[in-house]
A and B are shown apart, each in its own frame.
Chain A
Amino acid sequence: MSAIIEVQDVSKSFGGVVANKDISLSVEKGRITGLIGPNGSGKTTLFNSIVGYHPIDAGSIKFEGKEISKLPVQNIARLGLLRTFQQTRIYGAMNCVDNMLISLPHRKMGFAEAFGRHGKKDYNRADQLLDFVGLYEKRFLRAGSLSFGQQKLLEFAMALMNEPTGLLLDEPTAGINPTLINGLIDRLKRANTEFGITLFIIEHNMRVIMNMAEKIYCLAHGQLLAEGTPDKIQNDQRVIDAYLGAH
């Protein structure tokens, strides 16, 4: 198995606050990898660095062997590496179907094609994916009028619509009704197996991440604390201490 995302010695600080320090990790192609750590340990900062949201101070980030640490957000997204947001972001004034249609992969779309309309195939795919996350009935409602959990599901469906190779999910189950979480785990796993999308997931819900990920990285105070299989991480004394505040 080859690594699809390779992070080498990445550091990032904001003013005096060191958010990431010498972090190295790799995400295997076609797998589900987890990223955990207490609040403020630098998980989201690392995600932001990977997708080009802000420049990094030092280190290198590669996606499919290509250096991406200097590229802007849009170019990285068009390479097929996408992220979802912790504070869910959807297009509030547009309906769900339009939210899906505009998420079609722009790397494959020329400028002239922007002046065309969507074909039946696009609409069908949007409907199918909305059905996949259980939003089919609400597809003509404004996305902004959906509940937080539903917006989260919509954002996930939009990401799938984009047919990414790699998808970074920032707390996909936060704010979602516990009974829906099992369904979401199932859909994330299916996105991985059926669509072959590599997933890299930040998650606070230990049950969820231990259930899904094959490999987990744990951050604390901006540094890599531990890595390994879910079993190994669960029994690592340093991880337990970090979460309970012994650090």
Chain B
Amino acid sequence: MSGAIVKKGNTIMLSGRFTVGDLKEITSVLEAGSGKRMIIDLSHCDSIDTCVAARIWSTVEGSREAGLPMELQGLNPDTQAIFARFKTIDEKPLKPIPKPTLLYNFEDIGDKVLATWDTVYGLAQFTVNSFKALFSGKFRGSITAYYMEQSGVMAIPIVVTLNWLMGVVLGYQAGYQMSQFGGELFMPALLAYSICWEIAPMMTAVLVAGRSGSAFAAEIGTMKVRQELDALEVMGFNLFGYIVTPKMIALFLVMPLLITAANFAGMAGGLAAGGIFLKMPAVVYIAEVKKALIPFDLYWGIVKGLFYSTIISVTGSYMGMRVRGGPASVGRATTSAVVVSIFLVILVDALLSLLFIHIRPGLTL
């Protein structure tokens, strides 16, 4: 502290210079004087910074409201100017904060409904424009290959590992339950159906949405913030053709392959679970799986993959294109891309499951 505080009778005298670092000492002296009619003498004070002045001002104002006003004395022009500014601020009426009303709540719900509709409509329009560009624009091989590598090749380890683990877990749990009534021989069929019909396509879609959907949104959003999209647009590039369709084609091509890999990884997980926990020989497991599955079951995953890939690439790109403002909105776009993609994937999965029951050979309700 480069200043000194002296309390003499009902006078607190500040001399020297006071900065925000002295706030604690000043506060303790001011608090000790509260409840009395005190005089704060600043005639020997060279300077005080705004924080110290704010503390003195609030103490003086507080004492006035309590009916025991403190008095400020010996202000030099600089400190006088600071206090005058506080006085002006205090006298200016603050804009009243609107109280939440019932109407406000309804308006809020209405706003959210409109925003959701806006997203749905925008996404639908964006999808139409993306397909138009897909069928009318030129094929950009090198960009597509780049995204195939990023979204496909580099996703193989995580997709295979997680689906293998899912196979192990499902195999163990199904096998355990079935062994209670001697039905463990049915585990391979149950697992194969679960993996090929639902688990592998869904797990792969969730992983790709998390890896690639978010990456698409972040990449396009950042390009938007950095005005790269504006630059491409004014150079005459078709943004859908240049930015969106390579991602669509790339995912369209790699997603079925990833799902196929996931199918085999999941069933391999079941094989491991069968061997370790149920002591089931591999030949038995494979024979049971072969007996249960038909080629349609594997093709079905590929069909699902085509739908999911479109959802993920278009939603990720759309959310990226919607970025407005600064980097924070890129983060929001990334989150939205993943959430909306997974929501739509599950929605489409439910619809496809209804269709599946009717079209799979050998399946009757």
Are A and B genuine complex partners? no
A residues adjacent to B (C-beta < 8 A):
none
